[in-house]
A and B are shown apart, each in its own frame.
Chain A
Amino acid sequence: MMLFAIVVLIALALFGLPLFTVLGAGSLLYAQQSDLDSAVLVVELNRLATSPNLTTIPLFTFAGVVLAAGGAPQRLIRLFNALLGWLPGGLAVVAIAACAFFTSFSGASGVTILALGGLLYPVLNKVHYPERFSLGLLTTSGSLGLLFPPSLAILLYGIVSGVNIDDLFVAGIVPGTVLMLLLGTYAAVIGHRFRVSHHSFAWGVALRALRSALGDVLLPLLIIVGIFGGFVTVSEAAACTALYVLVLEAVIHKSIDLKQQLAALLADTAILVGSILIILGVAMGLTNLLIDAQLPMKLLAWMEQSIDSQLKFLILMNIFLLAVGAMMDIFSATVVIVPLLLPLAARFGVDPVHLGIIFLANLEIGYSTPPVGINLFIASQRFEKPIFGLFRATLPFLGLMLIWLMLVTYLPALSLWWRY
């Protein structure tokens, strides 16, 4: 009976029933099957309000929404173009840097492709990059900054897993930079092969662009120094970031009118936060029921029979997570999969911080893989290209990202260097 219900729920999810209602229905059915009062599900949701870093999610998200509305994408492109546009493959490198920077604030919710992709695509075409390369680059770049602070994905992983968010922020910096270097090198090779034109460095232009975008580029620096210098906690950094961004856009750049736009910006943030956190709230009840039913323990016992080393575990976990990434978006996957994965990883000696980086790296790849890679859908709408064509365009980038995933997985020092 329960198996039948699970199959029906999966089918309903595939046909578009919102994920939080699928999880809610599953929890309610399971509670009824186990003769439990469904009110226990709400106990868990209420427990969400005891999570110490919970406030960081809406506040950092608000900062991202305000930056997007205030014209930060344009300022960033101008700056990175002035600083890096002289390199071989310069404009593509500009795209990679600007997208990674912007995604760390916008939370890889597709805003990067919509905001930056629309600006960069015609320019990349104009300097004669092959169209397929440009499309692949911009589609993949939509999730590039996921491992940089204050990424929403890292915050959510920290809250769900109970791992220190400061540690996750430090751990993501080197793997994120390695990925940018890999893709940047590939872009330089393509730029050289197709003799793409690039401009020479001009101090005047660079200084003007820097003056315009100084407030934006200082932001991640201020967050990192603030948190790791011990001046503010992560929650306080989130509040300061939100205030800083409001002052930057409304007072310094005067690009948003608070009287006219503030309510809409706050509501937009609430929608984004609401659609993610409601899944977390409902899934916490289900996860607790599954833990009560000792599902992780049973899974562990089953895995211990067939897996005898950390290496085998990591290989299988990567295959599993790549499949998950192709089927679920990063936020749902974090909420549903991480609580089940944590005890398994602990049993095989995988550090929870390293696990977080591996997990997010897998899901970052999932953004551009069918059938539900959200980057593919958004890029398809933005550039008016078929999804399959975009997937083909992203293949070289996905290949590089798989190499990167192996580096991140099997070289823990990339994520945990600061502990040695």
Chain B
Amino acid sequence: MQKNVQTRSSFPWTGSHSLEGLQSLFQGASSTPERLVRPDSFDERGRWHRLVEIDGTQVAFQLDPSGIFCWGSQERMEQRQIQRALDHLFLPLPFPKKAGAHLPEALATRFLRHSPLVHLASASLGEALIKAILRQVISAPQAKKLLHRFIVE
């Protein structure tokens, strides 16, 4: 759907910097049995990819497991526009110790080990609502396949 073929070097506007605290994004990523588009996806090198519309322009985002973030766009992008999108997409959710005080010890330990998890948000209300409707009634694996077909086909 609306696929424009471009290569990294063809982007006139690019940028990169390091992002910290997003390690949990990569937990289990390499073991995913199917590479389904959600519309973000992981490649075989474990890098995370997603296309984001920022003020009407499609911007390619890429994050590698070491925390290096790169973006590329056909239009000029200000750092504040990129940062606004990143602030919305990645929301670190640390697990406070006191939140686990009433949990069985083993479970609290597992939760603390994964902290901080990163909530990966949908880019828009439309995307979030359509995804939630797709998820109604059917199982998570079915929904993932359906979402992939919806985006790719």
Partners in one complex: no
B interface residues, Cβ below 8 angstroms from A: none
A interface residues, Cβ below 8 angstroms from B: none
